[in-house]
Amino acid sequence: MSIAYLSSIVILLFYNPINSCRVEECAAWFQKTKDYENLVPKATERYCQVLQTYLKCMNDTQRFCHGNLRFHSSELVMRRHWKEFECEKWESCNEKNEDKRRPVNTCYFNPPPSSRKIKYCSLFGDPHLIMFNGTIQTCSEEGARPLVDNRYFLVQVTNKNVRGEALTTTVTKVTVLIRKHNCTSSLRYEATSDEEGLPRGFVDGTTFQMKSNSNSNSNAVEVLWQDNNYVEIALHFIHSSIHIRRQGPYLSVSVKAPSIVLETEGDVANEMCWAGCRRSSQISAETAVEQPKKFAECYNRRVHVPKKVAEDRCRNVGNSGTFFDACVFDLMFTGESLTKKDQVPYTKPKNFGKAFYFFLLSLHFSISGDDYLVHLSRNAQSDFRRLAPHHFQSQIIQQRVRQQQEHIRNLNISNSTKIFEKCVPSSSISIIFIPILAFVLIPMI
C-alpha cells in the first residue's frame, strides 16, 4: 500500500461536492489512525506517512478554510512535526521504492469514513427489508440469498416458509463469511433460528482476530456477544458491523458499513441490500393492512389479529413509522401458529359490545405468543436509531410520508377488486368465524 494509495482513499473519503472546510474530518481521521495504530509523534516512517496523508487532506481543503483558526493552528503544528522528524527522507524513499520499504501483509485499518458515507441495511420480520438506498420492501422470498457481498465480507440469509402458509417467510439462517485479508484470516459465523441461542463465536471456536503486526492490542475483528438473542460482529479494520438478533423462531440482521467497503465488487444485482427482493415476491404491505380480507383471500393467508388490536399492541411497545407498519403487518398476517380453536374471528360477533370485544382480544394477544413479532420490529427500530446515520434516518421518515401519499392516490384510481395480483388458488376459507368468542377467551383469562 503506497502513499499514493492511502492518499487516494483519503481524497475519496474527503471528497465532498459541498464546498466547506473539512478540517474536522482531517483531524478526526488523523486522531483515529494514531489511536488504532498506537502511533506516537516520533521520527518513524509510519508516523511520517500518516502525517503526510493528513497534510494532504488539509491542503486539499485549505481554500475553504480561510480564517479558520483550527485549520491554521493544526497545520502549523503538523508542519513543525514534519520538519522536526525529517519526514522528507521517508517520502523520497517511499516514492522510489515503496514496496520494499514496507513489510508485506501488514494490517492497516481503513481511515474512518465520515458519517455521510455510512450505509445501513436491515432485514427483519416477515421479512421487511430496509435497503441501502432507503427503499423499504416487504417480501416473501424463499431460499438463500446474499444480503451484502463484497471484497471483505458476505452476509447470506436463508428465508424459509413458516407453517406452510403461502407467502409467509422469515429469516431462519444467517451466515457471515469474513474474507481473508491482511487484517484477518477467513472466518465464518452461523446463526440458525432453531438453535437455542446465538453462537458466541465463529464456527472455528474463536471470537476475535488480533491485529497481527502491531504491538497494540486492538482487534481487527471480533464477535461481541451480548446474550442469546443479540450479537454484533465488529469488523474494526473496515469500520463495519453486522448485528444479528433472534426472537424465538425468527432472526433478523442489520449491516452497517462505509460505502467504500460496500462498493468493492462490481455486480450488486444479487445483493438484497442493493437490489431488493425479486419483483415477484414483493408484497404491498400497506395495501394488505388496509384490505386485510382481500389480501388474505387472495394469498390464502389468515388474518391472525384484527388491525385495531395489532395497532394497539404495536403502539404500546413504542413502535413508530416504518417499524410500526412492519409490526402491524406481521402481527396481522404472520402471527404465531394458532391452533384451530384459537383462531380469531375477524369480524366482531354481534352479541358483544365493541369495546368489550377489543378488550378481550387485547387480553388474548397479550397472553398468546405473538410477543416475538412485536419485539422483532421493536428491536429493529432501536438498532436503526442507534446505528443508522442521521441523514438516513430522516430520509426513511420522509420517504414513508411520500409513499403513503402515493398509496392513497393509487387506491383512489385503482379498482379495489384488482389490488392484489397473482392470487393463489384458494383451498380453504382464510378467515374463520367463530360464533362465540367467549369459549376461547374465558379459559385464558
Ligand X SMILES: *[C@@H]1O[C@H](CO)[C@@H](O)[C@H](O)[C@H]1NC(C)=O
Q: Which stretches of the chain bind ligand X, using CB under 6 A?
A: 1, 56, 59, 63, 102, 104-106, 131, 133-135, 181-182, 275-276, 409, 412, 415, 417
| CA nearest neighbour of 225 among 247, 204, 242, 248 | 242
**Residue with Cβ nearer ligand X (217 or 415):** 415
For 85, list phi and psi in degrees, rounded to 5.
-90, 5
**CB of residue 102 vs ligand X: minimum separation in angstroms?**
5
Q: What angle do CA 352, 353, 358 make, to 5 degrees?
A: 90
Bridge partners, 245 (sequence order)? 230, 252
Q: Which residues are 242's β-sheet partners?
A: 233, 255
As measured in angstroms, the least distance from the Cβ of 36 to ligand X is 15
Q: Shortest Cβ distance from residue 375 to ligand X (Å)?
A: 28
Closest approach of Cβ 378 to ligand X, in Å?
Answer: 25
From 216, 217, 186, 218, select the one nearest 202 (Cα to Cα).
Answer: 186
Q: Which is nearer to ligand X, 56 or 348 (CB)?
A: 56
**Cβ 275 to ligand X, closest distance in Å?**
5
Judged by beta carbon, residue 195 or residue 265, the one nearer ligand X is 265
Report in angstroms how near the CB of residue 336 gets to ligand X at its nearest. Answer: 32
C-alpha to C-alpha distance for 236 and 216, rounded to whole angstroms: 14
Strand pairing of 118-124 and 187-192?
A: unpaired
> 273 or 373: whose CB is closer to ligand X?
273
Q: Could you tell me the three cell numbers for 260?
A: 467504500
Closest Cα partner for 10 from 65, 50, 62? Answer: 50
Residue closer to ligand X (CB basis): 55 or 305: 55
Strand 282-283's sheet: what is its strand order?
Answer: 208-210, 219-227, 230-235, 240-247, 250-258, 118-124, 128-130, 136-139, 282-283
Give whichever of 117 and 181 is closer to ligand X, judged by the CB atom.
Answer: 181
CB of 340 to ligand X, least distance (A): 33
* 148 vs 376, beta carbon nearer ligand X: 148
Is 60 in a helix, a strand, or coil?
Answer: helix
Q: In whole angstroms, what is the distance from residue 224 CA to residue 248 CA?
A: 20
Asked if 146 and 277 count as a contact pair (C-beta separation under 8 A), the reply is: no
Least Cβ distance, residue 318 to ligand X (angstroms):
27
Nearer to ligand X, 34 or 56 (CB): 56
Backbone phi, then psi, for 235, in 5-degree steps?
A: -110, 80
Picking from 248, 243, 276, the residue whose alpha carbon sits closest to that of residue 141 is 276
Give the nearest distance from C-beta 106 to ligand X in angstroms. Answer: 4
What is the closest distance, in whole angstroms, from the C-beta atom of residue 91 to ligand X in the complex? 10
Instruction: Name the residue nearer to ligand X (CB basis): 35 or 406.
Output: 406
Q: Is the peptide bond before 389 cis (omega within 30 degrees of 0)?
A: no
CA–chain centroid gap for 54, Å, is 31
Given the complex with ligand X, which of 93 and 442 has the nearer CB atom?
93
Counting Cα atoms < 13 Å in the Cβ hemisphere of 241 gives 16
